[in-house]
Structure 1
Amino acid sequence: MRIFKKYIDPNPEIDSKNYGVQILNLGHNIHPPHKQYPDQDHPEGYYFNWEKGRYLKEYQLVYISSGKGTFEANGLPPQKIGPGTVFLLFPDVWHRFYPDKDTGWEEYWVGFHGDYAKYLLEQKCFSPENPIISVGFIPEFLDIFSNLIETIETDNQLLKKMASFHLINLLGIAYTSVLKNNRGLSHKDKTIHKMQNEIHAQWNKSIDFELLCNQYKVSYSWFRKSFKEVLETSPSQYLLMLRLRNATRIIQETNLSISQVAFECGFHSEHYFSRIFKQKMKLNPTDIRKDKNHSTE
């Protein structure tokens, strides 16, 4: 499996004064269960062990998209974190974290500094004492991370300058999530987000929505209506798009055949998978594989 895992040095051609943020490092990693964390090949200056923890000279935003683990910082007692969680790391603030040994986790991160970043992260809603943010499963969040990775990987300096704007978008979503969390969620929102988490945990399996409703003691009609009100799409469409986005990632990161990808993502027919993929994603699965092969030549 191809895993994006890369640290980059500041590019002198990208003047942070013009954008207010400058990206220092960036990455994506799937850390499997029962493996040492961090990996032994973690770059010097960023590696840490649990006993000593770590200090950084920069800001970092870390997003856990799957799995769970523990986070501790600046005297904050150990906090359990799960999928859909962002935690912020502040300069010169001690911290440590690790994934649960039984689940591992999938993590995205970006390290940065700059005047705008400093201004935003000094707002009252952000603080080293409350660095954990529940962002949830926002497709745009991962899309922006993907765009950020693509712009960093390109040799086009003009496109690389867009990286700062992608980072600002990530910080904007985190900021909005903090404000929303501070206002408090209604019982309906909390219930739907819990059910949403269940869907993410079982995304490639056959999900019985009525059984899920029984588990949370709500009617199926209430669930369908409330889900669409909160997430602006139906449960079935949400699950479908979740599977297609994961299928895209698997095609990009593995050499599995399209048929294998279809079954891996919960589709029982390669023909249906290819047809619905083309309909929703506006291109064929094989086109993604061609792009992948071309980019590695």
Structure 2
Amino acid sequence: MGNGFITSIEHFKPHTFQAEQGEGLYISHSHDYDELTLILDGEGYYSSAEQNIKVSKGDLILIPSQLHHGFVCIKPWKGISVHFIFDKIPAYCQYLFLNAYQKPLHIRISHLQEEHLKWANISLLQLELEWKIEEKSEYSYDLMRNILETVLLLHHKNMITPQLLPEKTDDSLIIQEVLREIHRRYNTSITINEIASRHFLSESLLRRKFSEMLGISPKQYIINLRLEEAKRLLQQTNRAIEYISSEVGFTSSSRFYDLFVKWVGMTPMEWRKLNE
């Protein structure tokens, strides 16, 4: 039977950032598996091309595979994430998971009150115990199926209408356009002042609006995108570090080196060797 439909279960715990108060490290990615994440404490944001959702204790998040999304922690958080293969989960779980979206490739969120939060947390911990058993009994799969069904039903019972940026305020529309521009041009000599002027805003006003909506400054957002792309190139190519630094938009290789060490915790060469 193996480990069934689950690929991994991860816990995340409170931590601190080497950054200004209220500014966390933005992580942007996609994956081949579907994800269910329960926030047990703290605060942050999840975002995709059309969404920017503030999350906190009690929020249960569903993320479909292949959706490029990001998250940032602005108050140290903890929780549990279950990653699974949609095609391998039981049929009723598939129905519940798909029905949660209504529209494809959107992050969906529900907010659980205290009793439902405890129920979901206990359920996911029990799911992890069953998943880790090497020699599963004939009832293990049924237990895992029932647990996943329970958590998905709690999600449906407490689901929140999805927040899509185009349906929100004028500020949201502006920030959405800013995000699109940043993602198109993050590897060029783009400046915040240049972006702000194109939207008839002062640099300080854009920084404030951007930080209020995403929980991170536009400058740090650009830096994090560059670092994420640098990590991909370090892992997937043999290009020189100086070349990668320039490729992702840094005008100084020493600046790239310093920022990489600050946010990743090791040098680019050390990270490459560790992730070969």
Q: Residue 131 of structure 1 aligns with which residue? A: 104
Measured in 1, the distance between the counterparts of 2:67 and 2:101 equals 18
Aligned to 1:254: 237
Gaps of 5+ in 2: 9-30, 34-62, 71-84, 109-130, 135-143, 145-151
How far the C-alpha of 1:260 sits from its partner, in A, is 1.0
Residue type of the partner of 2:240?
S
1-side partners of 2:176 and 2:271: how far apart? 31
> Does structure 1 conserve the Cα–Cα contact (< 8 Å) formed by 2:5 and 2:86?
no
Q: For residue 121 of structure 1, what is the aligned residue in structure 2?
A: 97
User: Quick check: 1:204 aligned with 2:181?
Assistant: no
Letter matched to residue 197 of structure 1: R
**Which of 261, 264, 279 is the matching residue for 2:262?**
279
The 1:159–1:186 alpha-carbon spacing in structure 2 relative to 1, beyond 3 Å, is farther
Which residue of the partner structure matches residue 63 of structure 1? 66
Q: Structure 2 length normalisation: TM-score?
A: 0.50
Which letter maps to 1:228? S
* Aligned mates of 1:159, 1:247 — CA distance in 2: 38
- 1:233 aligned to which of 216, 223, 229: 216
Aligned to 2:2: 13
Change (3 A) 1:132 1:248: closer
Deviations 1:54-80 (A, max 9, x none): xxxxxx945364xxxxxxxxxxxxxxx
- 1:212-267 C-alpha deviation (Å, 9 max, x unpaired): 22222223222110000011111111111111111111101111111111111111
Q: Select the structure with the greater relative contact order (CA < 8 A; seq sep ≥ 6).
A: 2
Q: Which runs of 4+ in 1 moved over 6 A?
A: 175-178
* 1:126 Cα deviation from its structure 2 partner: 2.4
Question: How far apart in 2 are the matches of 1:271 and 1:187?
Answer: 39
Q: Does 1:289 align with 2:272?
A: yes
What is the CA–CA distance in structure 1 between the aligned matches of 2:163 and 2:227, rounded to whole Å?
28
Alpha-carbon distance in structure 1 between the residues aligned to 2:180 and 2:160: 17
SS in 2 for 1:192: helix
Q: Is the 8 A contact 2:230 2:244 kept in 1?
A: yes
Q: Deviations over 1:10-56 (max 9, x none)?
A: xx311349x9xxxxx948xxxxxxxxxxxxxxxxxxxxxxxxxxxxx
Residue 223 in 1 paired to residue 206 in 2? yes
Structure 1 stretches of 5 or more lacking a match? 1-11, 20-24, 28-59, 66-83, 86-109, 136-156, 165-170
Distance in 2, Cα, partners of 1:159 & 1:205: 49
Residue of structure 1 equivalent to 2:246: 263
Change (3 A) 1:159 1:254: farther
- Counterpart of 2:204, as a letter, is S
The code of the aligned residue for 2:259 comes to: I
Provide the rounded CA distance (Å) in 2 between the counterparts of 1:15 and 1:180.
33
TM-score by length of 1: 0.47
Shift of 1:202: 0.5
**Separation of aligned partners in 1, 2:132 and 2:209:** 43
Between the aligned partners of 1:267 and 1:278, the Cα distance in structure 2 is 15
For 1:19-34, list aligned pairs within 5 A. 26=32
SS in 2 for 1:256: coil
| Cα distance change on mapping 1:253 and 1:183 into 2, 3 Å | closer
Tell me: CA distance 1:117–1:254, structure 2 relative to 1, closer, same or farther (3 Å): farther
Distance across 1 between alignment mates of 2:203 and 2:269: 37
